Structure 1
Amino acid sequence: METRVGNAARSLGRQGLSTFPVGLGCMGMSQDYGPADEQESIATIQRAVDLGVTLIDTSMSYGAGGNERLVGRALAGRRDEVVLATKFGIVRDVPGGPARVSCRPEDIPKYCDASLSRLNVDHIDLYYMHRIDPQVPIEETIGAMAELVTAGKVRYLGVSETGPEELTRAFAVHPITAVQFEWSMWWRDPEDDVVPAARRLGVGLVPYSPLGRGFLTGADLGTERLTADDDRHLDPRLHGEHLARNRAILDRMRQLAAELQVTPAQLALSWLLAQGDDVVPIPGTTRRSRLGENVRAATINLSRSDLERLDEVAPRHAWSGDRQTFAPYRTVRRPTQ
């Protein structure tokens, strides 16, 4: 049996929040990536905590609240061992149903109370605005979130998928502890704007999909291997010429990972961790078998030479295709190749 991986911790923001360097994203346990086994998902969350993972990430939108209930059951009796993060603002009325964004200040206390109830906790450690509501100035949304901190229902505030200007405006209302966004070796656009803005402000970086929606695990992932209800069918990077180009890069990454005696997933995660001590990725998995592999990435220290070789075999602009996007989500920022 694998044992707990050290006591290493990273700070998110400047307000006092610290967490293990690798977190656990729970979205795939309730939506988007095909069917998942609820009991295995609960066991996976519990095993992650056993291994030392502290940051557990969910949202009111995942499974229309079902994911928060699942996380709450998994963490029963272990609340004090974790940094519990959830989000509001993407609204789904039923699991698998259409999503909309709503961040009206008058609704935020109700969102928070509902999440607290589903999670069966009395406070949320890190509460994110999941997406910007174009109908609501971000200052009004953050102001309502700040009132939750004053009330003791939330400890720290975060935002997700914001641009640098929006992040700066949010921070001017209340300190922001973390910004969450897609970032991995095959999606690096945030390095141009969000990452430097966050660092100027002292905001922690929480990359989601750090394994490229599963592609960077080294699996031969393509849409032909996905179940019909898997949302990755909508990802342009997994189709046609884009997929062929990306597979060629992944082959080179596999070879380098073998030379370094790590897995492709560990190579991808350790690359992200090497980008700064303010980075805490949240890879998702629905199976206990993947957890140890992801957690051990926190113990891998890539040398400057290793990073240079990795940049040679998988340069930023060699990856092909835009990332997956949905109507209520932020528009991607670069054209397909």
Structure 2
Amino acid sequence: MDHRSLGRSGLSVSAIGLGCMGMSEFYGPTDDEQSLATLAAALDLGINFFDTADMYGSGANERLLARFLKGRRDQVVLATKFGNVRGPNGERLGVSGTPDYVRSACDASLERLGIDTIDLYYQHRVDPNTPIEDTVGAMRELVDAGKVRFLGLSECSVATLRRAHAVHPISAVQIEYSLWSREPEQEMLDACRELGIAFVAYSPLGRSFLTGAVTSPDSLAPDDYRRASPRFTSEAVKQNLTMVEALKDFAAAKGATSAQIALAWILNKQDNVIPIPGTKRIKYLQENVAAAAIRLSAEEVAALDALFAPEGVAGTRYPEAGMAMVNL
């Protein structure tokens, strides 16, 4: 497994990380034992960068990671997040970046994870009612206290990133980025390179759509949150599948799978970009890891760019309320 720098933190992480969200919520039935086996396999395959958040399963995902981390803590670069507030029954209570909440959320995550220090602590969503300087100031206090090593932001704007970076160095920005989610190419990728910040790409496989695994919303579990996504309506799926079929042909010509080409496309864009595909299954984990060895020429990257031209993608990546909480 190749490695990439996590900004200017001095940490070296696997070029492909592992997103753990789906192990505890959002994508149908969960199986902790299966997920624990997948986490262990990821480490064996060279992945050392694991991503979770306090809101995944309302803390369940962090507790799952705690089981995995026992006896392995020094082998793992662990990222978690705060900001999306949930109630005792999982209800969504909005976003908070107040200093008091930052401190209490960190302590709660440390307890659930069973660790003393979080390697990378992200603000999951920007709180529009709290100045970013106040939020990052509280996050800086966590670094000073030894509870957190490095800081990150998720789904922020470039303007917010610059303000945050002026308070304390930001090591990573995490934003959705894939063949069919190209917004970071407008400004954020250049800003991260300028500031020496790693760009962490979540949902690099388009929530499995780019793999060809989803051909109809009817194939999704009743509680799968993609059923509420504008990109997974019957009409959007029908239009977007034309690009996925072309991707399948492109991959076949390279002797690879669609998922592998989608990941290779990201890895061949810039050397500070780190995709974190999520999976609960070892089979798909092994497939994803193999993508790190695929090299694409500049012409092949350009061809994929054109194939997935943003104007040809049907549906926004979140419903209206979700889109209102990104790029703040």
Match of residue 110, structure 1, among 104, 111, 124: 104
Contact conserved, 1:89 with 1:102, CA < 8 A, in 2? yes
Gaps of at least 5 residues in structure 2 are none
| Residue in structure 1 matched with residue 70 of structure 2 by the alignment | 76
Gaps of at least 5 residues in structure 1 are 1-5
- C-alpha distance in 2 between matches for 1:328 and 1:141: 21
Is 1:158 the counterpart of 2:152? The answer is: yes
- What is the letter of the counterpart of residue 310 of structure 2? R
Cα 1:60–1:332 change in 2 (3 A) is: closer
Match of residue 54, structure 2, among 40, 55, 60: 60
- C-alpha distance in 2 between matches for 1:196 and 1:311: 17
| Residue in structure 2 matched with residue 317 of structure 1 by the alignment | 311
Is 1:296 the counterpart of 2:290? The answer is: yes
| Residue in structure 2 matched with residue 30 of structure 1 by the alignment | 24
Contact conserved, 2:179 with 2:305, CA < 8 A, in 1? no
Task: Pick which of 262-271 and 322-331 moved more.
Answer: 322-331
- C-alpha distance in 1 between matches for 2:214 and 2:129: 41
- C-alpha distance in 2 between matches for 1:237 and 1:104: 33
| Residue in structure 1 matched with residue 36 of structure 2 by the alignment | 42
| Residue in structure 2 matched with residue 280 of structure 1 by the alignment | 274
- What is the letter of the counterpart of residue 170 of structure 2? I
Cα 1:134–1:184 change in 2 (3 A) is: same
How much has 1:254 moved relative to structure 2?
A: 0.3
Please give the secondary structure, in 2, of the residue aligned with 1:69.
helix
Please give the secondary structure, in 2, of the residue aligned with 1:177.
strand
How much has 1:328 moved relative to structure 2?
A: 6.0
Please give the secondary structure, in 2, of the residue aligned with 1:213.
coil
1:250-269 mapped onto 2 (5 Å cutoff): 250-269=244-263
- C-alpha distance in 2 between matches for 1:239 and 1:66: 29
Cα 1:278–1:95 change in 2 (3 A) is: farther
1:219-248 deviation line (CA, Å, top 9, x unaligned): 133211111100001111111332111001
Match of residue 82, structure 2, among 84, 88, 101: 88
Identity %, equivalent residues = 50
- C-alpha distance in 2 between matches for 1:218 and 1:79: 35
The number of residue pairs the alignment matches comes to 327
Cα 1:314–1:107 change in 2 (3 A) is: closer
Task: Pick which of 65-74 and 316-325 moved more.
Answer: 316-325
How much has 1:197 moved relative to structure 2?
A: 2.0
- C-alpha distance in 1 between matches for 2:47 and 2:302: 29
Task: Pick which of 171-180 and 283-292 moved more.
Answer: 283-292
TM-align CA RMSD: 1.5
Is 1:145 the counterpart of 2:139? The answer is: yes
Match of residue 239, structure 2, among 231, 245, 257: 245
Is 1:196 the counterpart of 2:190? The answer is: yes
Please give the secondary structure, in 2, of the residue aligned with 1:53.
coil
1:168-208 deviation line (CA, Å, top 9, x unaligned): 00000000000001110001012112222222211110011
Cα 1:332–1:84 change in 2 (3 A) is: closer
- What is the letter of the counterpart of residue 259 of structure 1? A
- C-alpha distance in 2 between matches for 1:143 and 1:260: 48
Is 1:119 the counterpart of 2:113? The answer is: yes
Please give the secondary structure, in 1, of the residue aligned with 2:121.
strand
- TM-score (norm: length of structure 2): 0.96
| Residue in structure 2 matched with residue 221 of structure 1 by the alignment | 215
- What is the letter of the counterpart of residue 100 of structure 1? G
- C-alpha distance in 1 between matches for 2:301 and 2:234: 29
1:86-122 deviation line (CA, Å, top 9, x unaligned): 0011111246422421111012122111111111111
- TM-score (norm: length of structure 1): 0.93
1:48-107 deviation line (CA, Å, top 9, x unaligned): 111110110000111111110001101211011110000011111246422421111012
- C-alpha distance in 2 between matches for 1:124 and 1:329: 28
Contact conserved, 1:27 with 1:67, CA < 8 A, in 2? yes
- What is the letter of the counterpart of residue 221 of structure 2? T
- C-alpha distance in 2 between matches for 1:116 and 1:216: 35
Cα 1:142–1:85 change in 2 (3 A) is: same
